[in-house]
Amino acid sequence: MSLWHLTSLDAPTVAVVWTLAFAGAARVHLPIWLPIVLALAAWSFYIGDRLLDARNARTPLRERHHFHWKHRRIFLPLALAAAVVGLVLVLHSMPIVARERNSVLAAAAIAYFTSVHSPWRPSPRKFSIPKELLVGILFTLACVLPAWARIAGPHVAMLRLALLPAIVSFIALAWLNCHAIEAWESAIQFQRPTIRRLGFCLGAVALLAAASALFFDQSRCAGLLAGSALSAILLGLLDRLRSRLAPTVLRAAADLVLLVPIVLVVFQR
């Protein structure tokens, strides 16, 4: 599990699982190249992020940063190759209309990445949206957009409306994941109990939303909400167990609990 995290394979794995889970809930069949593109994009972004963090050393470096920097002669070509292959797949397989639509999200992700690693970054006080929330929004929307754009049939508006609570729940889950890792690694003691409460509260709200979705005969959306609820509760439990786990194991486990929706991917086929 630690190697899965150290090699930056955790983010692309979560991206693929979430993308397929939303596609299943929306009753959409995605072409095989699409989750591959998402996985390659996420992997190249995360490798680049960790290499630049290690090179600039603006924040305290963790084991993942040292691992990437030690093996940078392997990771850098792999990240470049992943980005090139992903771009080729997009140009070859993605319709022009979809490229134009997705380019907005891609531009936002690149702008965020550039702002984080630019040597002329503005003071954090000038950002009105926390970094963790921005990551949660961009990551979740990248997973949702492929299914969202392909919803068809006579009840498109109704299905999209039914998906909105799940989208909000997954954004909150992605934010909580980033916030928990930041709190654990920065050793801010007063923040740590908050992670536990936030996880349990988010889980409770998502379960209530799942019950409402079942009431309105939206069982697949209810499954998505239940999956996000369980992931949030598991993050809260990890916060309780943090002192018993090695930092790398804790960091990997925080991403591992995000894979709960894989159950939906398996059983909704």
**For residues 85 and 92, what is the distance between their CA atoms, to the nearest angstrom?**
10
Handedness of CA 115, 120, 125, 126 (dihedral sign): negative
Tell me the pLDDT tens digit for each residue of 43-81. Answer: 999 999 999 888 887 667 888 989 999 999 999 999 999
Confidence of residue 144 (pLDDT cuts 50, 70, 90): very high
DSSP H helices in 94-191: 96-117, 131-150, 156-186
3-state secondary structure of 151: coil
* Cβ atoms 234, 255 nearer than 8 A: no
Which range marks the domain in which residue 152 is found? 2-267
pLDDT (0 to 100) of residue 58: 63
- The top-scoring range by mean pLDDT among 20-24, 61-65, 214-218, 246-250 is 20-24
Number of structural domains in the chain: 1
Whole-structure pTM value: 0.90
Which secondary structure element, helix H or strand E, spans residue 11, and what is its range? helix 10-25
Tell me the pLDDT tens digit for each residue of 78-112. Answer: 999 999 999 999 999 888 878 777 787 788 888 77
Which secondary structure element, helix H or strand E, spans residue 258, and what is its range? none
DSSP code per residue over 188-246: -GGGHHHHHHHHHHHHHHHHHHHHHHHHTT-HHHHHHHHHHHHHHHHHHHHHHHGGGS-
Handedness of CA 18, 49, 71, 235 (dihedral sign): negative
- Say if residue 123's pLDDT is above 60: no
